[in-house]
Structure 1
Amino acid sequence: MAIKIALAGNPNCGKTTLFNALTGSNQFVGNWPGVTVEKKEGKLKGHKDVIIMDLPGIYSLSPYTLEEVVARNYLINDKPDAILNIVDGTNIERNLYLSTQLMELGIPVIMAVNMMDVVEKSGDKIHIDKLSKKLGCEVVEISALKGNGVAKAAEKAVKIANRKDAAVPVHKFAPEVESVLDSIENKLGSDIPEEQKRFFAIKLLEKDDKISAQMKRVPDVAEEIDAIEKELDDDTESIITNERYVYISSIINECYTKVSKGKLSTSDKIDRIVTNRFLALPIFALVMFIVYYVSVTTVGTWATDWANDGVFGEGWSLFGLQIPGIPVLLESALNAIGCAGWLQGLILDGIVAGVGAVLGFVPQMLVLFIFLAFLEACGYMARIAFIMDRIFRKFGLSGKSFIPMLIGSGCGVPGIMASRTIENDRDRKMTIMTTTFVPCGAKLPIIGLIAGALFGGAWWVAPSAYFVGIAAIICSGIILKKTKMFAGDPAPFVMELPAYHLPTVGNVLRSMWERGWSFIKKAGTIILLSTILVWFTSYFGWVDGKFRMLEDMELNHSILAAVGNGIAWIFTPLGWGDWRSAVAAITGLVAKENVVGTFGILYGFAEVAEEGNEIWGTLAGSMTAVAAYSFLVFNLLCAPCFAAMGAIKREMNNVKWFWFAIGYQTLLAYVVSLCVYQIGTFITTGVFGAGVVVAVLLIIGFIYLLVRPYKESRTLKVDLRSAASAK
């Protein structure tokens, strides 16, 4: 029978790093049954019969958040064989609060004090032997980042899990509290396991609503609670909390020698600059500018151009040798075997043109993902959330909402999933609805294509696309918070900032590869099928009453052209009523990369470089520069790809809320794109028509929604006046 070991610890204590070190590639990710909190488990390296379960990062076992509910239910109901409790050695007092609760569960505990290299570097000293003796469990020093002590901690966890008579550490409260707990334990029914009775007794004393059903079985508990509250002149929940910290303080005083007391750590010194009230935002803007400048404009572009022009183009030179690209090699091979014309067209004009156009941007994305992984691992991402909380709170969102949006700049799906950390349901729903406004990696090809093809590679196009996304988030926050569905103050934002540290190359590359591989898999599945469908419907149609394969000049007779012409009128007010653009926008709902892939097929090119030189003439002939920007804005703001839609549906867990989110995103995209085209055309050409009138009215309505007062504030004024008149 497999041994189960649960990893438990506070957020940012290094638990994920330890989990990766223990399991390597033997990991499985899913959702916990019935809730939308990520479930990670894996097999311990070198032990096929040992399963490591990574519990969500939590501060306590009080069921206030989904993460805490999941962790507590797993520990009580599934009861793992052992708990490996990861404690941040740089903030041990705060971390020990969860440890005291874990020790009450009746499960053997091994404590791993992490970041010991940072503790030693600061000159502080944690006396591990004394700590182990005081806690009553084995304590191991580790550095998950460097791999020090990791194997030893795992071995001890396996060893104690195998021991059926393993001692379970239990800390003691004050005598009067212990007396009440003993009394409650004796009154608990036999259906509660003996080893869990202490946990339930403490939770009953804390008046835990989640186990109120147990109160009915022990009616005298209320009397016990009233008695101790009168004796100690406090509510029992505060009493227990205070008792825990008294116990923790006694441990810290004997087991922790802080040499650096009163001195600022390196992280504190850095934070004085990067979280400074005046410097924080400029520094953040500079950091993100460098990230996207290198990823999109310089190194990323060089790598993407090499992939587009070389791998998926004519080829490249290497040490004087001319190496042909994939299209050239495939065409030669297909000609050599006498491949049928339709099959050759499918492979070259469909699969290679479509999938190749998308895969050509993989190098660019990998560069971006490396930067994002580094910022996350070094601890700067947590600071960004803290910095943005001051701004987002003014627009109805908390700093926690910025974390999903920042993650969403790589891919919308994990960005949407990251909203799970937001406790307030209204804030979480609003974050889910607005996260995909931030341009994800899949939208980078669209930005690059439009910027190069119709704006001559102008430097302002790409940054403006990101500003449009941020503006959409801020405006949505202001407008939605004034509705009844989202009314209310943002939830308080509390985050423990981890110490800065240099991440290992392995962790950064692993994170980069996980994100990149997800993109590549999408290109090999969803995008592949989409390009085959687009090719077939583009190159087959009815001519003179006959259904046949079409030539390049006959695409207007294709199935796709018929479908495109049927829906193109919807987008005519936006300036791009051409059937090709309409079809590209619709295929973008499957995967945003499909927009570029569809253009690659419809305009008959084997590759579409970022500058868009190959399709400059055709695109310029089908839409104006203003219409092209309208097209770009629509694809940035409208409903995301199918994968992200699926994530929205899972996270919303409600069909009506899902359709409201998709409808809001699409409507906002349509309105903004219409205003961009109509007002932009009026400014550039001076042509005034009904479309301009509609756009002006929409802008006026939009401004009204932004500036109108909150209903709650009006109600408050009325109440205050009533109260004043009553006096």
Structure 2
Amino acid sequence: DKVDHFLTHRFLGLPIFLGIMALVFFLTFAIGDWLKGYFELVLEMFSGSAGDFLSGLHVNAMLQSLILDGVISGVGGILTFLPNIFILFLALAILEDSGYMSRVAFVMDDIMNKLGLSGRAFLPLLLGFGCSVPAVMASRTLEDPKDRFKTILVTPFMSCSARLPIYVLFSSMFFGKNAMLVCYSMYLLGILVAIATAFILSRIDGSKVSHSLLIELPEYKSPNARTIAIYVWQKIKDYLTKAGTVIFIASVIMWGILNFGPTGYVTDITQSFGSLIGKMAVPLFEPAGLGYWQIIVALISGIAAKEVVVSSCSVLFGIQNITTSHGMNTMAATLATMGFGAANAYALMVFCLLYIPCTATIATMHRELHSWKATFGIILYQLLAAWVMSALVYHLILLF
């Protein structure tokens, strides 16, 4: 009861929650990046050995490129973020199992009501920090169809774990010691955009919350190691499964788009189908600081799974082991020659935060809403929000 006096306090509860989440992201970076360094060394050694092995067998140059640049560089780069993902889910599991997350839902209920959302909508939004698919599915607990639609609309604005590799890569490259703060700002920005969207919608449709939140506040307890292990393993397994399926396929497809053009197999990436697609969209993305065809193609590939943006950048810029310090330095230098700086990097992270969710989330949205019209309406709104916010932050950063 003494602890709850502070953690569920009307005014102190929310700042304490934000402080705890800031600590979680500090640990995600401080410990996660230290462990990631070892993963990067293993990837470098494996990539070098594989290259030597293929060269020794005199394997065709095109097949070598597919294996090294497409598969190993694409999928391997994603696997190096495993420590960051592990630390994040471990911290969330401890908070959940200790009984604290129920207090957060209680604290957020009054705020959610003022925004025109049911207090029950907090659970889907909270799940959205892990993965948008179960988060959207959790919206079915809301009885009011308007509540459900608004919750499904704003849930993808919560930064799922798939976006973390993008934040880590670009914040580390362009913001150095402030990388953790930049990443944390992405999570806060997603929450703010979700709040603003829900508030505006509630004013437009004039809806008021008719259902109050009824929730049990369990006793605080020491987190159970077995429960946490099962939770974290399930999340890590999902991440690894995605790396072995969706990301693998997307990396191969991306390699094909970048190595084939109207004339067939090409060694010059500027003659590829990917280059043609990206260059057509450059004028549209230029006001948002993203007018580079390579970045545009990477964003398109991210619709399959957000982590693919990182592996696509590796393939697009021809940088193996892009997540290592050498790879990031090479990438940053390459981008600098194109005029891509910190403002562009932040705009890119904002766009990745807000634009179209992955295909699995889109399919889940349709299944829950039973309407392609509503689903495409949400997608268009998210694209518009991503473009507007990216353009806004890009030009604001340039001013300062």
Q: For the superposition of Structure 1 and Structure 2, which TM-score range results when normalised by the shorter chain?
A: over 0.9
CA distance in 2, matches of 1:576, 1:667: 14
User: Partner amino acid for 1:360?
Assistant: T
Are 1:481 and 2:213 matched, yes or no? no
Q: Give the unaligned 5+ runs of structure 2.
A: none
Q: In the alignment, which residue of structure 2 is the partner of 1:547?
A: 264
Q: 2:30 aligns with which of 293, 298, 301?
A: 298
Are the counterparts in 2 of residues 312 and 606 from structure 1 also a CA contact under 8 Å?
no
Q: Superposition pairs for residues 270-669 of structure 1, below 5 Å? A: 270-295=3-28, 297-307=29-39, 309-313=40-44, 325-459=45-179, 460-484=181-205, 487-489=207-209, 491-541=211-261, 546-550=263-267, 554-609=268-323, 612-622=328-338, 623-669=340-386
Are the counterparts in 1 of residues 157 and 191 from structure 2 also a CA contact under 8 Å?
yes
Pairwise CA distance, 1:468: 1.0
TM-score normalised by length of structure 2? 0.94
Are the counterparts in 1 of residues 128 and 160 from structure 2 also a CA contact under 8 Å?
yes
User: Partner amino acid for 1:650?
Assistant: R
User: Partner amino acid for 1:477?
Assistant: A
Q: Which has the higher helix share?
A: 2
TM-score normalised by length of structure 1? 0.53
| Deviation by residue 1:333-390 (Cα, 9 ceiling, x = unmatched) | 2223222211111000111111111111112101111111222222211111111112
Are the counterparts in 2 of residues 454 and 619 from structure 1 also a CA contact under 8 Å?
no
SS in 2 for 1:646: helix
Q: 2:392 aligns with which of 658, 675, 681?
A: 675
SS in 1 for 2:208: coil
SS in 2 for 1:500: coil
Are the counterparts in 2 of residues 413 and 647 from structure 1 also a CA contact under 8 Å?
yes
CA distance in 1, matches of 2:316, 2:17: 40
| Deviation by residue 1:232-252 (Cα, 9 ceiling, x = unmatched) | xxxxxxxxxxxxxxxxxxxxx
Pairwise CA distance, 1:503: 3.1
Q: In the alignment, which residue of structure 2 is the partner of 1:11?
A: none
SS in 2 for 1:331: helix
CA distance in 1, matches of 2:308, 2:186: 19
User: Partner amino acid for 1:527?
Assistant: I
The percentage of counterpart residues that share the same residue type is: 36
Provide closer, same or farther for how the CA distance between residues 423 and 498 of structure 1 changes in structure 2, counting only shifts above 3 A: farther
| Deviation by residue 1:587-629 (Cα, 9 ceiling, x = unmatched) | 1111101111111111112212276323111122332322222
| Deviation by residue 1:97-150 (Cα, 9 ceiling, x = unmatched) | xxxxxxxxxxxxxxxxxxxxxxxxxxxxxxxxxxxxxxxxxxxxxxxxxxxxxx
CA distance in 1, matches of 2:384, 2:207: 21
Are the counterparts in 1 of residues 350 and 390 from structure 2 also a CA contact under 8 Å?
yes
CA distance in 2, matches of 1:477, 1:655: 21
Are the counterparts in 1 of residues 202 and 208 from structure 2 also a CA contact under 8 Å?
yes
Pairwise CA distance, 1:490: 5.3
User: Partner amino acid for 2:196?
Assistant: C
* Structure number with bigger Rg: 1
Are the counterparts in 2 of residues 452 and 610 from structure 1 also a CA contact under 8 Å?
no
Q: Superposition pairs for residues 105-254 of structure 1, below 5 Å? A: none
Pairwise CA distance, 1:655: 1.8
Provide closer, same or farther for how the CA distance between residues 278 and 450 of structure 1 changes in structure 2, counting only shifts above 3 A: same
| Deviation by residue 1:549-592 (Cα, 9 ceiling, x = unmatched) | 31xxx211112111111222221221221110110111111110
Pairwise CA distance, 1:504: 2.1
User: Partner amino acid for 2:293?
Assistant: W
CA distance in 2, matches of 1:354, 1:291: 28
Q: Which has the higher strand share?
A: 1
Pairwise CA distance, 1:426: 1.5
Pairwise CA distance, 1:445: 1.2
Provide closer, same or farther for how the CA distance between residues 405 and 620 of structure 1 changes in structure 2, counting only shifts above 3 A: farther
CA distance in 2, matches of 1:270, 1:420: 33
User: Partner amino acid for 1:594?
Assistant: V
SS in 1 for 2:9: coil
CA distance in 1, matches of 2:210, 2:165: 35
User: Partner amino acid for 2:303?
Assistant: L
* Structure with bigger RCO (C-alpha 8 Å, 6+ apart): 2
CA distance in 2, matches of 1:607, 1:624: 21
User: Partner amino acid for 1:283?
Assistant: I
Are the counterparts in 2 of residues 397 and 490 from structure 1 also a CA contact under 8 Å?
no
Are the counterparts in 2 of residues 564 and 580 from structure 1 also a CA contact under 8 Å?
yes
Are the counterparts in 1 of residues 118 and 209 from structure 2 also a CA contact under 8 Å?
no
